[in-house]
Every structure is written in structure tokens, then in C-alpha cells.
Amino acid sequence: MRLSHFATLVIAAAPALHAQGPATRRAHELVALIDSGSLSAIRAYADTAMTTKAPAEAHRSFILGQRDESRGLRWVDVHEESPHRATVVLERALTGDRTALLVVVDSAPPYRIVGIGLRPPPSNAGAASSPRITSDAEMVAALKRYVETLAKADVFSGAVMLAKDGQPLYAAAFGEADKDFHAPNTLDTKFNLGSMNKMFTATAVSQLVEQGKLSYDDTLAKFIPDFPNAVDAKKIRIENLLTHTSGLGSYFNDDWDKSSRALYRTVDDWMPVAKHDSLAFEPGTQWSYSNTGMLVAGKVIEVVTKQDYFDYVREHIYEPAAMRSTDAYQLDRVNPNLAVGYDKHFRDDGTIEFRNNVFEHVIRGGPAGGGYSTVGDLVRFAEALKAGKLVSAKYYEVMTTPKPAVHSPRYGYGFGVDPETGVVGHSGGFVGISSNLDIFKGSGYVAVVMSNYSNASQAIAGKMRELVLSRLGPTHRVTARS
């Protein structure tokens, strides 16, 4: 019997497949498809080997998207393996850097794939050792090569800034802010922040705590007695809102999907939609990312200050930090230099079609996300935080340390936290939106990447993190953990 082209690919890629678990075998199959599977083989695989809980088109897009972003994958190692779950380490042909692929399969034959996703590569997953970066010039040269490689392949569109003590070491923009008019991205282009607005909301709350106007331990009932209901309002504390431990979910629900985007411009516009939330768990007992929690924190700011959320943040965050190109702009108004977001779609013949996200997201961002900023403004925000212009050094530390007491070991108040490296910040992502801010505590380095392509900031954010940590050396990591 003659083997199919796909079967030949899999056997060539993994001669010892029979000795591995079903999740690892599926991972080998996926890598073979990403590398050189035909469109018909990809369609057949999505239909027969992957769960029907997600559309087959989504599975095909994932496989073709990884082909576009990597230009081929080399199998490196199996990092973690159980019969129905495997994390494997792969190397991208385009850039030579590594990623991890998580594959989860059904517990019974034919072991269809029920979960799949990319993860940062584990530090101990057999990665080749690289010489330590010993100068800023060396670091910048490596970053420049990496970013330009991605931009030339049209995998990245956006802006990048790596700064030290507030001064750019590397700053560049690539791609188009508006493909209809071929308007280029520049360092002044305003990109959508996604969830990065959560940092601003948490900073505003912390200002009010520092002023004695509220406490992290206050219950929500003190400010909004009936949200989501009178009983739960007494259980949720301000700390839970800021750490994603409230048990609340997301207000992007069926009501939102079926209604006009133009209806939602203020915090009060969103509150009735969010009120349908019920607690998924007792506050402080679990961690689950919550847009509703941050929205409600924005409403608390309005109640305490008797001021519109947007006015308060503009006056007390953006202005002191000299962030002159940051706001929650209303998208049906004239807003200079705003980038349009784009998502890559793969036609039946495998070619790429760009679709904008104009009808996908909110008409105005808010406390949980959706505002706009520039790479320079985000560096200024980080520097203002570190300099005590927004909150004192004490409260900056409070915001940017983990909260294990409420089951938040890698998230502080509105800031993601890596306890091993001392890197704090936030990312933001949606269709046509991909941004990230990293503040390397205990050093002068700040790294920002903003893109108007889906998921496109992640690889560059990871590369900047790798380069800066190499530049800082192992001593910095020990200090960060202490």
C-alpha cells in the first residue's frame, strides 16, 4: 500500500512515534503539517483529528498561521509528557528562537486533539546555550536583527522601543497603520492597548488607597452595594478586583455581541451588561482573568472621586506622566495617528487575506482595556511609576509584587509579575491587537512592543526579555527573587 504524502511526512519527522504517548504523537503530526502539509491534508486533519468544539476553520488557521510565523519548525525536545497531554519544544526556522507547543488529546481513541496552544519555551528545555550579552550595543544589534527579520517577512507590523533610564536604546516602526491608504506605522502611531489599560486602573485605585480614600481590604458593597448582587458585593474586596480573584468573569457576553457598539462609551453604559455575572468561585480562593473585575474597579474610582473615570485617569495618570498620545479614544470621531488592527486569514489556496478589526472591538475602551497609546508614552508611564510621580515607592512595590494570599502568585494589582526575574508589566491582545510592556525592576530597562497584527508582539516581547535578562546576568535574577 502506498503511503499518503502526509503519512510520509510524519514518519520522516518522527521515526520513534510508536514509543510515545498519543499527545506527543499528535504533536509530531502537527509539526509535520505546519512544515509542509498540503492544504488538503490540513483540511482532512482538522476534520478528523481535532475536536469539533471549535470550527475546523479555526484549526486550519492555527496550522497555517504557525507556518506563516515560523517558516518551518524543528523538533527540539519533549518537555513534559503524560498520555493525554504533552508540551514540546520547537525551533522556528525564520528566527532560530524557540517556542513550546501544548497539545491535549481525548482520553480514548482516536485521541482527537481537544486543546492546543503556544507557550513560552521552558528555560531548562534543552535550549542551546548562548553567550551572555555584555553591552547595550550588542543587545541592540541582536534585537534589531530579530525585529527586522520578522518585519521583512510581514510577520510583524508595529513599533518597538527598548529604553534605559527613559532614553531609547532602540526604537523603530514597521508596516502599515492603514492598509487601505498605505499609511506607514511610525513611532508616533497610536496602537490599541488591549488589556494594558488595567495597569492604569490599578494605579488610579492605588493613588486613592495612598490618599486614604479607600482600602484594598474594603468590600465592594461599600461603594456599589448591589453589584453583582447584595450578597456577593459583601464578599468581593477591592484587592480581588485588582488581582483577578473576585470570581467575576467578562462582560463580553451575548448581550454585548447582539448590541450596537455605539451604546457603550462610559463605565455606566457597561455596568448593566456586566451585572449578569455570577461568581464562579468564592473571592480570593482562585485566580481567573476577569475583565468585569477591572471594569468594576473603574466604577469604584468614579464613586470615590465623584469624577468620570476617563477624566480622572487623564488628569492623574496621563498628564503627570507626560503621556500626550494616550487615551480611550472614541472610534467614531477623528483621532489622528490611530492604527487599524489587522488579522491574517488564509484563503482556500493558502494565500493570505488581511481583514481589519473595525467591527470586532469596542467603540471606546475603558478600565479593563481598549484604549490607545504609543511606545514612547508607555516608556514614560513606566518611568513615572518608578520615579514616584504616580504613586510612592511603597505603593509601586505593593502593586508589582505577587499576592499569593489571595491565590495570585504571578499577578499583583493590575500588573503581571515574574517573581524569578523581577519583570513586571502587562500585555494586551485581541483580533488585530497585540502589545506588551515589560519593566525590569532593579534596572533601568523598559521594553515596549505594540502591533496592529494579531499576536505579533509576543515573539518580540519574548526576545527583548531574553536579551535584557542576559545583559543583566544571573546576579540580577537572584536579587529579583530575594
> How confident is the model at residue 124, as a pLDDT?
59
Instruction: Judge contact between 397 and 415, C-beta under 8 A.
Output: no
Confidence of residue 182 (pLDDT cuts 50, 70, 90): very high
Instruction: Judge contact between 21 and 330, C-beta under 8 A.
Output: no
Retrieve residue 335's grid coordinates: 483621532
pLDDT of 443 above 90: yes
Average pLDDT on 375-393 reads 98
Retrieve residue 55's grid coordinates: 470550527
For the entire predicted model, the pTM comes to: 0.92
Q: How far apart are CA 194 and CA 190, in angstroms?
A: 12
Residue 58 CB: number of other CB atoms within 10 A?
11
> How confident is the model at residue 376, as a pLDDT?
98
Retrieve residue 372's grid coordinates: 490607545
> How confident is the model at residue 211, as a pLDDT?
98
Average pLDDT on 230-248 reads 97
Q: How far apart are CA 433 and CA 44, in angstroms?
A: 30
pLDDT of 285 above 60: yes
Retrieve residue 393's grid coordinates: 515607592
> How confident is the model at residue 120, as a pLDDT?
84
Q: What is the CATH number of domain 5-119?
A: 3.10.450
DSSP 8-state secondary structure symbol assigned to residue 118: E
DSSP 8-state secondary structure symbol assigned to residue 19: G
pLDDT of 353 above 50: yes
DSSP string, 224-292: -TTSS-HHHHTT-BHHHHHHT-SS---S-SHHHHTS-GGG--SHHHHHHHHTT---SS-TTS-----HH
pLDDT of 129 above 80: no
Which residue carries 535574577 as its cell? 477
Instruction: Judge contact between 164 and 137, C-beta under 8 A.
Output: no
Least confident of 304-318, 386-400, 464-478: 464-478
Instruction: Judge contact between 322 and 389, C-beta under 8 A.
Output: no
Confidence of residue 19 (pLDDT cuts 50, 70, 90): low
Using DSSP bridges, classify how beta strands 372-373 and 416-418 pair: parallel, antiparallel or unpaired.
unpaired
Closest to 441 measured CA to CA, from 458, 463, 417, 460:
417
> How confident is the model at residue 12, as a pLDDT?
40
Packing angle between helix 56-70 and helix 39-49, nearest 10 degrees?
130
> How confident is the model at residue 259, as a pLDDT?
85
> How confident is the model at residue 295, as a pLDDT?
97
Q: How far apart are CA 407 and CA 284, in angstroms?
A: 6
Closest to 27 measured CA to CA, from 72, 94, 81:
81
Confidence of residue 1 (pLDDT cuts 50, 70, 90): very low
pLDDT of 125 above 60: no
Domain ranges in the chain are 5-119, 191-481
Task: Give the fold, CATH level 3, of 191-481.
Answer: Beta-lactamase (3.40.710)
Average pLDDT on 253-273 reads 88
Task: Identify the burial level of 242 via C-beta atoms within 10 angstroms of its C-beta, where 0-12 means exposed, 13-18 middle and 19 or more buried.
Answer: buried
Confidence of residue 240 (pLDDT cuts 50, 70, 90): very high
> How confident is the model at residue 18, as a pLDDT?
44
Confidence of residue 7 (pLDDT cuts 50, 70, 90): very low
N-terminal to C-terminal alpha carbon distance within the chain:
62
> How confident is the model at residue 136, as a pLDDT?
97
Average pLDDT on 249-254 reads 86
pLDDT of 359 above 60: yes
pLDDT of 204 above 60: yes
> How confident is the model at residue 475, as a pLDDT?
74
**347-373 core/surface letters (b: 16 or more CB in 10 A; e: else):** eeeeeeeeebbeeebbbbbbbbbbbbb
> How confident is the model at residue 126, as a pLDDT?
41
> How confident is the model at residue 15, as a pLDDT?
42
Confidence of residue 37 (pLDDT cuts 50, 70, 90): confident
Calculate the alpha carbon distances from 446 to 120, 377, 442, 466 in Å: 20, 12, 11, 13
> How confident is the model at residue 481, as a pLDDT?
58
- 5-119 and 191-481 share one CATH topology? no
Residue 130, CB-side half-sphere exposure with 13 Å CA sphere: 17
Instruction: Judge contact between 310 and 328, C-beta under 8 A.
Output: yes
| Average pLDDT, rounded, for the chain | 91
